[in-house]
Amino acid sequence: MSENFALERYAPPHRRLPEDRDDGVENAVKLLAKQRPEALAESALATENLNVMIRHTTIDSMEEIDRVIRELESIRDLLSNEVGRIDREVGGYASVNHMAATAMKVISESLKQWKERQNKTAANWPSRD
């Protein structure tokens, strides 16, 4: 028995036999308390794995956000270029419209003057009746 005692004394804490074999609950608590460092190690490993997964998810999310930002910036540039193009086209149409209105006014005035001259000339001609 002294040989078993010596071996148990050098055994890892979670491998040792409970000292008081009569009280099962107390022994179970002591055994669980001795096993706690392993549970903490497993918990630390799980926590590290969770941290790695969170880091990967965060990096992936940040890359996706950066991609969306670049896409939105390119759309903004495209829209800005389109605004400039449309402004130039509208300006061109306004210019053509102004020239057309001016030409119609000149033609109208010319027709009016031509008609007045024709009426004056017709009034100066003797009638054939």
Q: Would you state the pLDDT for residue 2?
A: 46
For the chain, residues with pLDDT lower than 70 are: 1-41, 123, 126-129
Angstrom CA distances, 88 to 3, 81, 83, 101, stand at 101, 11, 9, 20
What pLDDT does 23 receive?
60
Q: Which of 48, 18, 46 is nearest to 32 (CA)?
A: 18
Distances (CA, A) of 61 to 48, 49, 73: 20, 18, 18
Over the stretch 84-118, which tens digit does the pLDDT of each residue have?
Answer: 999 999 999 999 999 999 999 999 999 999 988 88
